Amino acid sequence: MTGTFASVPIAPPASVRQPSAQPGFRPPQQARSRESLQKVLAAAEHVLAERGLEEFTVGAVAERAGLSVGAIYRRFSGKDQLLYAVKDELLGQLEAGVGEALRSAEPGLRAVVGAFTTALARTFATRDRIFPELLDGQRADGRDRGLRALAAIQQAFLEAAHPCVEEVGRPDPALALRTAARTVIGSCVHRAASSRFWPDGLTWTAWAGETTELALAYLTGRAEPPEPG
């Protein structure tokens, strides 16, 4: 094998998550305030899932949460920031879930890949109704937050898979693992965004199993040498 991990930049582990900064957002300092914030975010998710982005308003979230509109505005500057907070919560859970699953995985490439795909599926299985709405409503700051999360979970996978490098049959194991990680992540995000409109007939559990087998077939397979000329 000619590939090494020397060229793979080591980023902070996905489990070490820095809080997102968003202008106008007032992070809670007390336990009661944190509970109130979770209540608001749960209500916001419900409104997104049931009504969609067009009917997502601060008033609708306040009504669902049983709070006044003013109580929402004391924490958020408006609808856009509330949407960002919902997305930040989802992505934070994704980072934490993937990190924990990979840390708990049994040794071996199959276990690591399986833990990775299953953790992705587990997060999106409960949020696939709101994910398309979050994508439609995101601004540049939301995209940046999403890209940071994807980079973090990719890095977590690379670190977890590093001890299994000898099981990779591709000529460049580091490249193969990065390719597999990005392909699995891309497939998951695409499925979450489009499954409501283009269903594939699979449960998220079945998707995770099939995707695990696809990734393992690629990683453990031997690449055909290029034809001369």
Q: CA of 110: how far to CAs of 46, 152, 217, in Å?
A: 36, 21, 10
C-beta atoms surrounding 197 within 10 Å: 7
C-beta atoms surrounding 208 within 10 Å: 25
Q: What is the pLDDT of residue 9?
A: 39
Q: Phi first, then psi: give them for residue 121, nearest 5 degrees.
A: -60, -40
DSSP 81: H
Structure tokens at 181: 């990680």
Q: What is the pLDDT of residue 133?
A: 72
What are the start-end ranges of the H helices in 105-172?
A: 109-125, 131-137, 140-161
Q: What is the pLDDT of residue 5?
A: 39
Q: Give counts: helices (H), strands (E), the chain.
A: 9, 0
CA 182, 180, 113, 208 dihedral sign is: positive
Counting beta carbons within 10 angstroms of the beta carbon of residue 6, is it exposed (0 to 12), middle (13 to 18) or buried (19 or more)?
Answer: exposed
| pTM of the full structure | 0.79
* 10-residue stretch averages of pLDDT, the chain, 229 residues long: 39 40 52 81 90 89 93 90 89 94 97 98 84 67 84 97 96 97 94 86 96 97 68
Q: What is the pLDDT of residue 127?
A: 80
Nearest to 190 by CA among 132, 151, 125, 148: 132
What domains can you pick out in the chain, each with its CATH number? 26-76 (1.10.10.60), 80-220 (1.10.357.10)
Q: What is the pLDDT of residue 222?
A: 77
